[in-house]
Amino acid sequence: MDGEAETGVTIMYMVEKLDAGDIISQVRIPILEEDNTGILFEKLSTAGTQLLKETLPSIVAGTNDRIPQDEKYVTFAGNITREQERIDWSRGGNEIFNKVRGLYPWPGAYSVFQDGNVKVWKAKKSEIDTDASPGTIIKRLKDSLVVKTGDGTSIAITELQPAGKKRMAAEEFMNGAGANWNEGDHFE
């Protein structure tokens, strides 16, 4: 959600203090633009499994490295709140794009449209721009609803779930329940 370029797995000694044990080994994983939390979970699981296979022999033999952690880099990640899931269309397109993919496949980002919550499951960046206000549907394409953001860019919603409806591709939505969602309509 923060737009980081990489993540990783660390094998470390456990101590009572949070994130303070010596590092034994690490692997870094780049975060690609098409990645979301579900994809990263799989990538990190695979990388962690491989790293553990490579590291365990040195731990058993007592020959592993012990790299002290620098406490000034220790961070704490709290639970995601409902307010953090809400899309603020006045924010920039990259920030909104990262929020959507950072909350996929669960719990999902959401916005409010016509007094109902709408989950935005998938989106992509779009270069379509107008002088419309942030949150305005600026284009109905065959496969997406393009919404203006606060920095002059836009986001193309490709999968959504209106309140009380099933999750669906934007194309399916616009051919059914979303037939009355028009250019110029506005997300709160």
pLDDT at 152: 87
* Cross-strand pairs, 186: 136
Give Cα separations from 3 to 113, 153, 164 (angstroms): 26, 16, 31
What's the predicted TM-score (pTM) here? Answer: 0.90
Q: Does the pLDDT value for residue 72 go beyond 90?
A: no
Give Cα separations from 12 to 29, 60, 88, 116, 144 (angstroms): 17, 14, 38, 46, 44
pLDDT tens digits along 109-161: 999 999 999 999 999 999 888 899 999 999 999 999 999 999 989 999 999 99
Domain with CATH 3.10.25.10 in the chain: 82-180
Give the CATH number of domain 82-180: 3.10.25.10
